Amino acid sequence: MSSTENLVARYLDAWNTTDPAERAAVLAEVFAEDARYTDPLVDAEGRDVIDQVIAGAQAQFAGLVFSSGGPVDAHHNTARFSWHLGVPGQEPLVIGFDVAVIENDRITKVYGFLDKVPTA
């Protein structure tokens, strides 16, 4: 596994880590201190704010798991990858893809896109 693939795997781990102290440790490993995460629903800057976004998603989607949706495509300092959110072994409830900018082995920016979302 390349360092970029490993970083993306750890990024998904952060979204699945429910213990706040453990999640903070994963976030420190994955994100630069001043990282920015942006998707259609949120624009968060800094690890602490990103941590709050993840905690909120975990509360909203309790019991669901983020998983890789396929291989990581990367070049230079940019990676794009798809992800699924759902019950393992079942059709994903949410499907999206992210584009991450990487500097010094840490994610500095994430641009998230939602391809499939539940209807009301």
Q: Which tens digits make up the pLDDT trace of 86-99?
A: 999 999 999 999 99
Supply the pLDDT for residue 66. 98
Q: How confident is residue 113, by pLDDT bands cut at 50, 70 and 90?
A: very high
Q: Which tens digits make up the pLDDT trace of 40-71?
A: 999 999 999 999 999 999 999 999 999 999 99
Query: What does the alpha-carbon distance between residue 83 and residue 92 come to, in Å, rounded to a whole number?
Result: 9
Q: How many domains does the chain have?
A: 1
Q: Which tens digits make up the pLDDT trace of 10-44?
A: 999 999 999 999 999 999 999 999 999 999 999 99
CATH code for the domain in which residue 40 is found: 3.10.450.50
Q: Which domain holds residue 39?
A: 3-116
- Distance linking the first and last C-alpha atoms of the chain: 39
Supply the pLDDT for residue 1. 64
